[in-house]
Structure 1
């Protein structure tokens, strides 16, 4: 099963570069991105400041617009054509990322690149079958690393569904440490309290909060308001205890209803099955309903129109802990989510294909909106981090990141306590947790960091490169 990236980047020490290094001291990598859709654009925007980026796309209007909106080179052409890749600078490239909306095209791009050079290749695919074929024979299709959009989205849904009020959940240090971002309801026990007053957990760090368009790194006297989103880092038990404190919903979703047997809906049901759940899945199309029913032995598949409020009431969907809308349009997913919310469902999760709708969905009552292309872009960007960055989680559309870094002997954190060491780091940084030889250490002012420790750090994206270089 493909898991979120949590290992050293095998590409980091084999980059080829015509330049030397970027301003933060990292290696400048020549990157070719094939496909200038939402995924390709997002990757290019994330890499443009630290790498030399070339974007290839068949649409001349798209490549022309991209030239003016991002600091990248563009090539109008077919990325499956070896001559086009050579025109884009294949011979000097360290990385080729194939992220068009067509699985076969992405595999062919990687194969063409591998036929001519030993460049490291990444392919985005939607179908899990291709991923499983590749996993059975790594290196197949000329792909060095493969990201499956539908499976990645299903895994994200599963992680988020387990914690009430959580918008983002990720694990670090092999599962020893967890990061989560929570909505704070106005009636929450910690609303209108300072961080010092709210912090009653042995193994938890309040890292930051998002309030409207503002991001605040928390201090002891920071007041938490209803409507804030709070980022906490700590042990899984402390995160669960915090979830119980801020919300009245059950700790773990037990009754799961998935609406739509799209590939994402199917993969989500399979993900819940793999973790011992018995979800219910609603699908309108007779043939598709029968197909997934045969493939999902522990899922109850119901053939019906999920936008039928009478059906939802008759099937007691109101008793569900979470309803996941995975239909084939944003509008239908919004409608299903609002119907479920009106029935009294504790938590709603909706798939959106238009990223601009995310804030709108959550404003009108959808608890969590997930964009598959955004999840894919983030996963690929994680893979391009420097060699000593172990794990990356992006927050609030890349406004901030939580990163896991192995502390180098020359790190500014070594040899002094955290209170003194953090004064050498820029504003917008919080050390949330430390992993040392398999032990979780909650950082306090007197804690001393040792070489080889893994630190989990909340970082304002604006100072990310500087922080990585210092640690």
Structure 2
């Protein structure tokens, strides 16, 4: 498949890197330095130009392209690029937007704006935040098989029950598979005798109930099963959608917004949320509002610096968990190094969602792990799959060692993958696969 990507920023570059191995990818960007860097750092063809220009798109091979992905940081540019591409042919178009209003309009009218598939960065980020807040100690949570299966990544603290024990000792949950550990930034398949050390991240796949139960063994003592007292700092679009999603789950949050007019709008739109007008960096205000008792503080202000400051203030006051939105992906490690519990990058979430959609047909769902070091994949198996018709213990020998069968669903029901489990045609299988083994796995499953 020939894919044109408009925008070579963090989103576009991540999408290009994920698709380049199996597709013909061309990237367009207005910045000559970005184009030069991408050209010399990868095998991807990069072109300098305006992605809304028909001439530029034709230079990129629009006539022969199957798909156009518009992923710049400007909503209108992305929509216009898709509309321009549609004037030439029946190319499939994907647009990334921040403003969820565009998504609402597009959803009501199929093919609106000349866009075949639209992704709202802000809404995706809000969903990620709410999933993480709902699971103690989790730093990443993704649903598979329509929510029947969950993949979760947990930070192992020094006072966690599982710190200092082996995988075999803690892997005691019936509907849960221990997939991998992240140690010093490197992802490794979890073996029975692998020790789990403080500072590691544990990646598990299982039923939501088992993942929730496992989270209680990872989280430090006295951590609540679910955050109840939640404070959102920043009335941004992400902040609004986060509060709205929490309301839909029956949770009342407190939202701090400094701008009076924006605060009034939010109070009218969020009847189940307490909206407070104030500067969230005012320590006296935070103390007066008993922020130290909060189960979680979510920083979604308009700058990474303010989100970092607010999160550090919350931590210093004794808040159990802090979640911060970070626009610049290279700062993620810094945020976590200084003690922020979860750093969520909207651009990374958007790239993952678009890659997930482009893989539909062969892959039902996917989640990228630790900068694409590994992937969690959901695949519907057929008669030709090496997994079909034999006990798992017999077919794993034909799979690379860097693969873990994490879960199976059959007729919308969870099936625990054990050595004698026979996978049937039509089953959905959730696999943990290291990046090096991905091509080999996809050729046989």
Conserved in 2, the CA contact under 8 Å of 1:211 and 1:227?
yes
From 206, 211, 221, the counterpart of 2:193: 221
Could you tell me how far apart the structure 2 residues matched to 1:62 and 1:402 are? 30
Q: Is 1:78 aligned to residue 50 of structure 2?
A: yes
Q: How does 1:460-471 map to 2 (within 5 A)?
A: 460-471=434-445
String of CA shifts for 1:168-225, please: whole Å, max 9, x gaps: 1111111111110111122222222222211221111111111113322112222222
Q: Is 1:443 aligned to residue 417 of structure 2?
A: yes
| Structure 2 residue aligned with 1:207 | 179
Could you tell me how far apart the structure 2 residues matched to 1:335 and 1:222 are? 37
| Structure 2 residue aligned with 1:368 | 342
From 86, 89, 99, the counterpart of 2:71: 99
Could you tell me how far apart the structure 1 residues matched to 2:412 and 2:18 are? 32
TM-score (norm 1): 0.92
Large movers: runs of 4+ above 3 Å? none
Conserved in 2, the CA contact under 8 Å of 1:48 and 1:70?
no
Conserved in 1, the CA contact under 8 Å of 2:185 and 2:370?
no
| Structure 1 residue aligned with 2:277 | 303
Q: How does 1:205-284 map to 2 (within 5 A)?
A: 205-247=177-219, 248=221, 249-284=223-258
User: Displacement, 1:434?
Assistant: 0.7
Could you tell me how far apart the structure 1 residues matched to 2:16 and 2:146 are? 29
| Structure 2 residue aligned with 1:421 | 395
Out of 290-299 and 302-311, give the one that drifted further.
Answer: 290-299
Could you tell me how far apart the structure 2 residues matched to 1:116 and 1:70 are? 29
User: Displacement, 1:31?
Assistant: 0.5
Q: Is 1:188 aligned to residue 160 of structure 2?
A: yes
SS of the residue corresponding to residue 250 of structure 1 reads: coil
Could you tell me how far apart the structure 2 residues matched to 1:171 and 1:443 are? 18
SS of the residue corresponding to residue 174 of structure 1 reads: helix
Conserved in 1, the CA contact under 8 Å of 2:308 and 2:324?
yes
| Structure 2 residue aligned with 1:126 | 98
| Structure 2 residue aligned with 1:113 | 85
Could you tell me how far apart the structure 1 residues matched to 2:9 and 2:390 are? 47
Residues 386, 130 of structure 1: alpha-carbon distance in 2 compared, 3 angstrom cutoff:
closer
| Structure 1 residue aligned with 2:307 | 333
SS of the residue corresponding to residue 389 of structure 1 reads: coil
From 355, 361, 364, the counterpart of 1:387: 361
SS of the residue corresponding to residue 401 of structure 1 reads: strand
User: Displacement, 1:304?
Assistant: 0.7
SS of the residue corresponding to residue 169 of structure 1 reads: strand
From 42, 63, 67, the counterpart of 2:14: 42
String of CA shifts for 1:97-119, please: whole Å, max 9, x gaps: 01111111111111111111101
Q: Is 1:454 aligned to residue 428 of structure 2?
A: yes
TM-score (norm 2): 0.97
Could you tell me how far apart the structure 2 residues matched to 1:462 and 1:212 are? 19
Could you tell me how far apart the structure 1 residues matched to 2:412 and 2:26 are? 41
User: Displacement, 1:388?
Assistant: 2.6
Could you tell me how far apart the structure 1 residues matched to 2:167 and 2:72 are? 45
String of CA shifts for 1:83-136, please: whole Å, max 9, x gaps: 211111011101000111111111111111111110100000010110000000
Could you tell me how far apart the structure 2 residues matched to 1:214 and 1:353 are? 23
| Structure 1 residue aligned with 2:141 | 169
Could you tell me how far apart the structure 2 residues matched to 1:67 and 1:451 are? 43
Could you tell me how far apart the structure 1 residues matched to 2:162 and 2:50 are? 55
String of CA shifts for 1:140-161, please: whole Å, max 9, x gaps: 0010000001111000000111
Conserved in 1, the CA contact under 8 Å of 2:167 and 2:192?
yes
Conserved in 2, the CA contact under 8 Å of 1:253 and 1:321?
yes
CA RMSD, 1 decimal: 1.2
SS of the residue corresponding to residue 270 of structure 1 reads: helix
Conserved in 2, the CA contact under 8 Å of 1:168 and 1:395?
no
User: Displacement, 1:386?
Assistant: 5.2
String of CA shifts for 1:273-293, please: whole Å, max 9, x gaps: 222211110011112111211
Bigger relative CO (Cα 8 Å, ≥ 6 apart): 1
**Which consecutive unaligned segments of at least 5 residues does structure 1 have?**
1-28
Q: Is 1:159 aligned to residue 141 of structure 2?
A: no
User: Displacement, 1:351?
Assistant: 0.8
String of CA shifts for 1:394-451, please: whole Å, max 9, x gaps: 1112111111101121111123221121111112100011111122111111211112
| Structure 1 residue aligned with 2:293 | 319
**Which consecutive unaligned segments of at least 5 residues does structure 2 have?**
none
| Structure 1 residue aligned with 2:321 | 347
Could you tell me how far apart the structure 2 residues matched to 1:37 and 1:216 are? 29
Conserved in 1, the CA contact under 8 Å of 2:187 and 2:370?
no
